[in-house]
Amino acid sequence: MTLPGSAAGRPAIVTGGAGAIGGEVLDVLAQRGHPVLGLDLAGGPGMVSCDVSDEASVAAAFSHVRERIGPPLIVVHSAGITGQGGVEEEEPAAWRRILEVNLTSAYLCARQAVAGMRDAGWGRIVFVASVNGRFGGSALSGPAYAASKGGLLTLARFLAREHAGDGITVNAVAPGPHDTPMWQALDAALRHRILSMQPGGDRGPGDPRDLAATIAHLCSDEARYITGATIDVNGGQWMG
């Protein structure tokens, strides 16, 4: 079934498509009539095996996507890894790896996608950042994670300005805690402390399906007037 506001039929890719949030985005975009593939190291049905931090792997994955469903006109970047500790605990190798997977990968994917979007006169790019990119993170996220997610917000603004004349919108979402396996793996006391940072935190974490719907809206024709924006989906943990 094709739903309203779908820009239906336009090819889409979702990095981190095997993850909890990426998987929901894949499903929602497919329901809205898009041919869609995930990019993920995990591979599997509906996935293209890809190390999004590696230039050659990203180039090969995009080539495969073009052959299967056409040039992607929607790119949702949901791939990411986290760290922990402060600058003394997070080793330089971990810092570099987190920046490569979370931020450099977004640059590599955008670099592959914009030419096809420009040719079509239409494109949508959405980066899944984090509330940590808003308030600076903590030892729970580690410095590289917070810096990389903040970098996604700035990269979205740069690309939005650079490609506005090409009919391409570029936005970011900044999720707070959502009910994913990563969230459930946290200690109950820690989950309570995180939720206490939100107004009405007893409502619990967000629903990944709702987040996916917000992302899908940013990929629709109805969102044509939204670009360079960061949409906060964090229960009021950050009000900027």
Count Cβ atoms below 10 Å from residue 2 Cβ, excluding itself: 10
- Tell me the two tokens of residue 10: 């336009």
Q: In this structure, is the dihedral angle defined by the CA atoms of residues 23, 29, 34 and 39, taken in order, positive or negative?
A: negative
Q: One of 62, 95, 127, 145 is an active-site residue; which one? A: 145
Coil, strand or helix at 77: strand
Residue with tokens 């919108």: 169
User: What is the distance between the alpha carbons of residues 108 and 97, in angstroms, rounded to a whole number?
Assistant: 15
DSSP for residue 101: I
Give catalytic status of residue 145 as yes or no.
yes
Angle between helices 105-120 and 55-69 in degrees, nearest 10: 30
Contact between residue 172 and residue 231 where contact means Cβ atoms under 8 Å apart = yes
Residues 199 and 92: their CA atoms lie apart, in Å, by 36
Residues labelled catalytic: 145
